[in-house]
Amino acid sequence: MNFANSVAGPSRLPRKSARPFVSSDNRPSEPDGIFRVVLITSGSVASIKAPDIATALSNSGEIALQIVSTKSATHFSNQTVVDEAIRKSLTNLTTEKLPDDLGVRVWTDEDEWSDWKKVGEPILHIELRRWADLVVVAPCSANTLAKIAGGLCDNLATSLLRALSPETPVIICPAMNTHMYQHKFTSKHLRIIQEELEYFVLGPQGGGVLACGDEGPGKMTDWREIVYTIENFAAMHKIKLEERKQQVNIPPRADFLDPVIPLSRDTPRPPTPPTPNRLDKELPTIDQLNIVGPAYMLGMPVPKNAKELDAKTASLQHWKEMQGETYWKSRWWGGM
């Protein structure tokens, strides 16, 4: 079983997952140190950066990647382009003969239907959401943003997001024309995905010349910053796993044991709840955490404009601080 989408050896070469995709064939039941990321690309010209993101993450060795592309996104980047970029990057890094299945699988709407024949067979968007530790939508076009905010699920990408377990964090990287970004609907949609879905918004850039020639905000965050952010999530995920291992190895003290509730030493990855993702108990809201100021600044200095921000506001200028371990621990999906 190709758990990490890679092969062991002097270097870890990314390998395409077999079809049809089954999560259990690509993810072991116990943590293996691999951080699994689904990158969703949508119909923005910034999708041309997907090969760069895929190449950088594939060279990590500790990050496994699957790509989901909308029909419009394949106009800018597709399986062939991603394969060529990854193969080119690895040619000079290894003396090994590169395998024919080298690369990262790019899944499309056609795969959703062609790989499913009858009831009981794996459903692609469900298997991918079971597999993922993190989902990144980069770029997120105005169209896809509107679909996510409205709860639509008419393609593989939006169906995956709608079926996603609330245990899994999501990063949205908007990319659109300046006037589309400044449209009132866009601010409304961003507010919904931040406050109601609790997704993270990274970008867009505050200015610059867009591909269409217009100048202003709307460009996707630099792809290197996106890779950096994913690597930070991977690092914090690894820290969390190490903490859990240490907790398991600490012998329990009898005076700390609850006589009614038994102490469990097993801390596996939380099971994926069945569709439609209802939990056994209510998750705490940000307001219930008693956080003063932006939740994303927990443990950080209060900014000067704190009075203008509420506990549900994702402040883009403080994104770096959002990635701190204190913030990670404050999230219920991070083990709160």
Q: What is the pLDDT of residues 195-253, one digit of tens each?
A: 999 999 998 988 888 888 888 899 999 999 999 999 999 999 999 888 888 877 666 55
Domain assignment of residue 240, yes or no = no
**Residue 322 falls inside a structural domain:** yes
The catalytic residue positions are: 125, 212
Convert the pLDDT of each residue in 265-311 to its tens digit.
Answer: 444 555 554 444 333 444 444 444 443 433 333 334 444 444 444 43
Per-residue pLDDT, 93 = 67
Same domain, 84 and 153: yes
Answer yes or no: is 137 within a domain: yes
Answer yes or no: do 115 and 173 share one domain.
Answer: yes
Determine the pLDDT at residue 333: 42
Can you give the pLDDT at residue 273? 47
Number of domains making up the chain = 2
Note whether 112 and 190 are same-domain residues.
Answer: yes
**Domain finish residue from 213, 234, 255:** 234
* pLDDT of res. 125: 96
For residue 264, is it within any domain? no
Clarify whether residues 166 and 229 are in a common domain: yes
Q: What is the CATH number for 121?
A: 3.40.50.1950
Q: Is residue 334 domain-shared with residue 187, that is, in the same domain?
A: no
Which range scores top for mean pLDDT: 82-96, 151-165, 278-292?
A: 151-165
Q: Are 197 and 293 found together in one domain?
A: no
Percent of the chain beyond pLDDT 90?
50
Q: What is the pLDDT of residue 251?
A: 63
Look-up of token digits 């596996």: 268
Residues 194 and 298 grouped into a single domain: no
Last residue of a domain, one of 216, 234, 252: 234
For residues 199 and 291, membership in a common domain is answered with no
Averaged pLDDT of the chain: 78
Most confident of 12-21, 187-196, 206-215: 187-196
Report if residue 190 sits inside a domain: yes
* Digit-coded pLDDT (tens) for 104-151: 999 999 999 898 888 889 999 999 999 999 999 999 999 999 999 999
Q: What's the domain range around 35?
A: 6-234
Residue at 329 is within a domain: yes
pLDDT score of 260 more than 60: no
What number is the average pLDDT over the span 28-45? 94
Q: Judge whether 259 lies within some domain.
A: no
Residue 187 sits in the same domain as residue 285: no
Asked if residue 254 belongs to a domain, the reply is: no
